[in-house]
Structure 1
Amino acid sequence: MRMDPHLLRTFVAVLDHRSFSRAAAALGYTQSAVSQHIAALEADLGTRLVERRPVAPTPAGERLMEHAPALLLRLDAARADLGRLRQSRTERLALACSPAALTPAVAQALTELRAAAPSLFLEVRVLGREPVIEDVLTGRAGLGLVDGVAAPSDPLPLPDVGPATVLVAAEQPLAVLFPHGHPLAGRRTVRLTDLTQAQWIDAADTAVPLDRLRALCRTDGFRPRVSHRGTDLYGLAALAAAGLGLTALPLSLAATLPGLTAVPVEEPRLVHRTELVHVTRPTAVARQLAGLLVAEATGGARVT
């Protein structure tokens, strides 16, 4: 059983798109080539993986889909890791951030890095949380910053990051955003458990994901009224300010968004954390930026 990664990528594309023709367009193959790839993979594994009409996974295909994305990501990570060995010098650094992780403190660290390395070209990419980690593991970014909510001193529930290092880059209070004039906007603090039946905005890549709030508060509440897709914080703020639903963000960031009042969360005891992800052997400039970011979070104790 060889499990050719090219065939595995085609298999994932077919089930992601639920179509042989759309998978072919996405991969740059002909439809007949996609069909041949699926047939070859099924022959290799000795079982049918994809139902053709309509396109859907068989029970064996469902089981393989539980493994395939992680396997492909690890292969890409290995390729990127070997590619870094060929780099004799680094004049470029890409930083991938989830939206709420890109803070003034991060901008200040980038300023200090540029001052130390004036010829360095910086690229800052704002992405959803999982794409940030994928960019780091596959070498598209030298460092990643991912935000989320956890109990004090607990790590974020990140997906498998493989051969990578995770460090705390920031920790601050969590706040709920209310439009001006909302009955709860004048409170000093709020309890999330009092808001489980409120209307919320589902903004999984930008604000605190609602499924995370459900898990932390052990409830099936926090039902969305509006779905926000993408990484535009100010677009999310406009929806919340118009009264279309509540959302939760770190207090320092929430306080800067127009038309909204940020009220800190009192219960349960939660913090908004930002964690830094880099490969186990980062480039010198990536290691330097990591040191600046962690120093900010730890009050001066830098990593080397």
Structure 2
Amino acid sequence: MDPHLLRTFVAVLDHRSFSGAAAALGYTQSAVSQHIAALEADLGSRLVERRPVAPTPAGARLLEHAPALLLRLDAARADIARLHQTRPTRLTVACSPAALGATVAGALAELRAVTHSLDVEVRVTGRDAVLADVVAGRADLGFVDGAAAPSDPLPMPDLGPMTTLAAAEETLAVLFPRDHPLAERRAVRLSDLTQAQWIDASDTAVPLDRLRAVCRAEGFRPRIRHRGTDLHGLAALTAAGHGLAALPLPVAAALPGIAAVPVSAPRLVHRTELVHPANPTAPARQLVDLLTTRRLAADAGRR
């Protein structure tokens, strides 16, 4: 299966348009049509309905495999490219919004204090985009966040030759409007909130499907969807009564217009994990070492 044809297939269905895919990929519309026809001939099945543009049953099945296949190809290319890097003077870090807290910011400040010439770029994106950027070599390392039992790793897709490291664990909290009946509670149980209205903010807050999984319960119905990485926008929606959301307590407590109430049950933490390739660049390795030292010191202090 030609990966160029597969990329065109994904682009057509992402844009729901042959012309949109052509513009995004820099091809002519005729070339896009030829790519789809060639892929269909290769697989012996019609993959895309033309009017309107939509996947056939076979196309939907292929679409389940395509992103992971293309990501692994990008990972292989990036892995080889890193072998030929000299002494990089740039560090690109990708972070999901709630992962960019005091721990990560402090480690970056400490790194820049000992490497004065290092050019640091921090990109804030959704969790899936963070992982894709690291795997494909567009970022040297990444930080993603989520809810987990204490000391448990976050569930991750198959990332190939990648390494994960716990960077921080913080109290998980629920965001309420200040006039909500539960806003003055010292703590809340998530199981008491399964039938509440929530904000579906999968790139910013803890995803609702993750809350269902850790509570082993249905519910957590979205009242509104928030797309993007704006934590203040999410807080404004909560403050206006559009629904609840779950964030780390230090992040939530700094947001205006809302009450942040810690979660007491189930026993969960908000966990931030660092993801990096098996052969990271020298600046990325330095940051990993700094965070490892910080985490070991924090663990020793709790004993």
Question: TM-score normalized by structure 1?
Answer: 0.94
Deviations 1:151-197 (A, max 9, x none): 22221112221110011111111111122232111111101111112
Residue 86 in structure 1 maps to residue 84 in structure 2: yes
- Assess if the C-alpha contact under 8 Å between 1:171 and 1:297 holds in 2: no
**Gap regions ≥5 residues in structure 1:** none
Residue 205 of structure 1, CA deviation: 0.5
**Residue number in structure 2 paired with 1:61:** 59
**Residue number in structure 2 paired with 1:139:** 137
Q: How does 1:51-200 map to 2 (within 5 A)?
A: 51-200=49-198
Deviations 1:84-115 (A, max 9, x none): 12211110000100000001221111111111
Deviates more, 1:215-224 or 1:283-292: 215-224
- Assess if the C-alpha contact under 8 Å between 1:74 and 1:162 holds in 2: yes
- Assess if the C-alpha contact under 8 Å between 1:168 and 1:274 holds in 2: yes
Q: Aligned equivalents of 2:37 and 2:233: distance in 1?
A: 45
**Residue number in structure 2 paired with 1:298:** 296
Deviates more, 1:224-233 or 1:151-160: 151-160
Residue 286 of structure 1, CA deviation: 0.2
**Residue number in structure 2 paired with 1:238:** 236
Code of the aligned partner of 1:102? L
Deviations 1:46-72 (A, max 9, x none): 222222233222222222111111111
Residue 146 of structure 1, CA deviation: 0.2
Code of the aligned partner of 2:184? G
Identify if the C-alpha distance between structure 1 residues 242 and 51 changes in structure 2 by more than 3 Å, giving closer, same or farther: closer
Deviations 1:235-256 (A, max 9, x none): 1111212222111111111111
1:264 aligned counterpart, secondary structure: strand
- Assess if the C-alpha contact under 8 Å between 1:144 and 1:278 holds in 2: yes
Q: How does 1:220-239 map to 2 (within 5 A)?
A: 220-239=218-237
Q: Aligned equivalents of 2:257 and 2:207: distance in 1?
A: 22
2:228 aligned counterpart, secondary structure: coil
**Gap regions ≥5 residues in structure 2:** none
**Residue number in structure 2 paired with 1:8:** 6
Q: How does 1:34-45 map to 2 (within 5 A)?
A: 34-45=32-43
Identify if the C-alpha distance between structure 1 residues 76 and 207 changes in structure 2 by more than 3 Å, giving closer, same or farther: same
- Assess if the C-alpha contact under 8 Å between 1:151 and 1:269 holds in 2: yes
Deviations 1:234-290 (A, max 9, x none): 111112122221111111111111122211111111111001100000011101101
Residue 300 of structure 1, CA deviation: 6.1
- Assess if the C-alpha contact under 8 Å between 1:93 and 1:123 holds in 2: yes
Residue 204 of structure 1, CA deviation: 0.8
- Assess if the C-alpha contact under 8 Å between 1:226 and 1:245 holds in 2: yes
Q: Aligned equivalents of 2:226 and 2:18: distance in 1?
A: 29
**Residue number in structure 1 paired with 2:201:** 203
**Residue number in structure 1 paired with 2:271:** 273
Q: Aligned equivalents of 2:105 and 2:148: distance in 1?
A: 24
Q: Aligned equivalents of 2:298 and 2:152: distance in 1?
A: 21
Residue 21 in structure 1 maps to residue 19 in structure 2: yes
Deviations 1:196-220 (A, max 9, x none): 1212111110011111111222222
- Assess if the C-alpha contact under 8 Å between 2:197 and 2:244 holds in 1: yes
**Residue number in structure 2 paired with 1:30:** 28
Code of the aligned partner of 1:238? A
Code of the aligned partner of 1:196? T
Q: Aligned equivalents of 1:181 and 1:46: distance in 2?
A: 60
RMSD over aligned Cα, in angstroms? 1.4
Q: Aligned equivalents of 2:20 and 2:107: distance in 1?
A: 43
Deviations 1:129-151 (A, max 9, x none): 00000110111111100000012
